[in-house]
Structure 1
Amino acid sequence: MHRLPLRLLAAPLLALGLAQGSHAQVLTLGVVPQQPAAKLYSLWQPLIEQVRSDSGIELVFKTAVDIPAFEDGLRRGDYDLAYMNPYHYAVFSRSSGYNALVAQAPGRLKGLIVVRRDSRFKRLEDLAGQRLVFPSPAAFAASLITRRELAARGIPVEVRFVRSHDSVYFNVQRGFAAAGGGVWRTLKSTTPEAREALRVLWQSPGYPPHPIAAHPRVPLALQGRVQQALIRLADSERGRKLLERLRFQAFAATVDADYAEVAALDWQGIPGTLEPSEEAEAHTP
């Protein structure tokens, strides 16, 4: 069984110990588990350490076993700061009060449907009756947007949910599913073997990218310090290298209004949405 780094397993205890044992300002940063936890930790921890150094705020990495568990954490307000998908923000900015600070810049988020490079599928309509895999019911671009497109075209498919974007690519690569949903950033950062084996069959229009948002309990002064440290990463060679590891060019300031178009989308008939009145059971496939 793959073992997580000790520091990753200990992160919540570290945050608690620092908060109780000193006057250090400690904030947890929850990262949506688009990829396995150990991989996320290796990608995000160096950037977190740089932001910690630049801002003077102790940041502690956190994630969850899968995206539905991460959604539960957002619902409870487990994370002081959270890197979440745009649909998560549209829901949890209302129900939990999260406030957008920064988002990836430049660029727009696009959902993808990928197939094996050597498959016979040329159009979305060719997938009728096939098994498709998605990272979770409420993964925005990789699951909600892609399934919305299939439903709009009247293409019936067998839907299965897996733990992460990397799991989607693995299942399609190995032929366990005919196609799957993803996004460009995770496709580009998956294994070379998977990238070589897959091709993009369809991509969506662009939407606002994932924000990093703050829970309302975080003082505005600390929110501002973290925001500025994230934005300044692109000003140094080291910062740009840390961003490049995540397939980012830079962070730019963002505000709640930037996600109005996501909040306005109609999800009628698409299972897995997280409307506030249904949150208790919405994460169950």
Structure 2
Amino acid sequence: MRTWHATGKEEGPSRIMRHLTKLLLGLVVLLQPWTAAAQQPPLAFGVLNQQSPALTAERWNPILHYTSTVSGVPLQLKMGRTVQETNSMMARGEFDFVFTNHNFQSEFDSLGFKVIARWAGEPIRAVIAVPADSPIQNLHQLAGKRVSFPSNEAFVAYAVPLVALKRAGVRVEEVFGGNQEGTLAQLKARRVEAGAVNSRFLGQYAEREHVQFREIYVSEGFPDLAVIAHPRVPAATVERVRRALLGMSSDTAAASILTLAKSKGFEAATDRDYDGVRRIYRLVGQ
């Protein structure tokens, strides 16, 4: 049945269908940018092996989900099974963004990565720690002892303490834990006399595992790890990701994510901020 209004215009099913068709076409046009973004393959976001893959995912997946949502740039966590494998992936260009400081070693420094941010908070320091009841009181008493390091490519947990040990004239038996957590686990189990780690992880591990350590060496401060972008990533895309990371600390929607990650967010950073990191790496031939 057709309906006629006072205007004399037909308001039947065919007219209603034409209105609905126009409305649907308009919605399709409006949704095209979001559809394209959803179909865009995610960019690989590499993370240095400081913790186990499970703990890394627990910390970083919420951060990357937030950053992807805010920036409109889909990001996906990617890392190798070991530090060496992750570094090799970086060298082969498998990451679009990376959270690391190993790029400042000589062999990676020419890859062209750009520093866009860094983990916020106090500077990181190298710490050599022993069990709280250990008789060892200073570096000289480590001579000939087993000391664990995350890997021989670590910056603050290998290159920095190695320079300190060399300056003290002390040689130790190097043992590798695979990552920060692995080194602290070796120290907790007393398979080594001392462990060299990033100051940020020492306190977190001790609190979580209910164990006490004592610091016998603490280095000067260095900027925390950087977020770097591969030169192939378009500048506009890099800027969107950078702004999303820097905005986390002031966004209430990110508060629970940062609490879970035990993070204050991210701070602005430049390549020149890491000249001191390069200097230490060069002192140990890296």
TM-score, normalised via structure 1 length: 0.82
Matching of residue 109 in structure 1 with residue 140 in structure 2: no
- Confirm or deny: 8 A CA contact 2:64 2:77 kept in the other structure: yes
User: Which residue, out of 81, 84, 95, partners 1:65?
Assistant: 81
- Confirm or deny: 8 A CA contact 2:206 2:212 kept in the other structure: no
The equivalent of 1:77 in structure 2 is 93
Letter in 2 for 1:137: N
SS of the residue 1:74 aligns to: helix
Matching of residue 236 in structure 1 with residue 256 in structure 2: no
CA distance in 2, matches of 1:91, 1:194: 36
Matching of residue 95 in structure 1 with residue 114 in structure 2: no
CA distance in 2, matches of 1:96, 1:148: 26
- Confirm or deny: 8 A CA contact 1:104 1:211 kept in the other structure: yes
Letter in 1 for 2:212: A
- Confirm or deny: 8 A CA contact 2:206 2:213 kept in the other structure: no
Q: Deviations over 1:212-253 (max 9, x none)?
A: 000111111000000000011011233133223333212112
Q: Which runs of no fewer than 5 residues in structure 1 stay unpaired?
A: 1-20, 275-285
CA distance in 2, matches of 1:78, 1:218: 12
The equivalent of 1:51 in structure 2 is 67
Q: CA deviation at 1:108?
A: 1.1
CA distance in 2, matches of 1:41, 1:92: 27
The equivalent of 2:55 in structure 1 is 39
Letter in 1 for 2:138: R
SS of the residue 1:95 aligns to: coil
Corresponding pairs, count: 251
Closer, same or farther: CA 223–266 of 1 in aligned 2, 3 Å:
closer
User: Which residue, out of 138, 156, 160, partners 2:153?
Assistant: 138
Closer, same or farther: CA 209–193 of 1 in aligned 2, 3 Å:
closer
The equivalent of 1:200 in structure 2 is 215
CA distance in 2, matches of 1:116, 1:238: 39
- Confirm or deny: 8 A CA contact 2:113 2:228 kept in the other structure: yes
Percent identity of equivalent pairs = 26
Q: CA deviation at 1:90?
A: 4.9
CA distance in 2, matches of 1:266, 1:33: 18
CA distance in 1, matches of 2:96, 2:183: 29
- Confirm or deny: 8 A CA contact 2:160 2:280 kept in the other structure: no
Matches within 5 A, 1:150-169: 150-169=165-184
Matching of residue 170 in structure 1 with residue 180 in structure 2: no
- Confirm or deny: 8 A CA contact 2:105 2:282 kept in the other structure: no
Q: CA deviation at 1:105?
A: 2.3
The equivalent of 2:271 in structure 1 is 256
Q: CA deviation at 1:189?
A: 3.0
Closer, same or farther: CA 99–266 of 1 in aligned 2, 3 Å:
closer
Letter in 1 for 2:185: F
Q: CA deviation at 1:107?
A: 1.9
Letter in 1 for 2:63: L
Q: CA deviation at 1:128?
A: 1.2
Q: CA deviation at 1:74?
A: 1.4
Letter in 1 for 2:154: A
Closer, same or farther: CA 189–126 of 1 in aligned 2, 3 Å:
same
- Confirm or deny: 8 A CA contact 2:103 2:109 kept in the other structure: no
CA distance in 2, matches of 1:26, 1:164: 27
SS of the residue 2:214 aligns to: strand
User: Which residue, out of 258, 262, 269, partners 1:247?
Assistant: 262
TM-score, normalised via structure 2 length: 0.82
The equivalent of 1:217 in structure 2 is 232
CA distance in 1, matches of 2:190, 2:252: 41
CA distance in 2, matches of 1:125, 1:267: 24
The equivalent of 2:4 in structure 1 is none
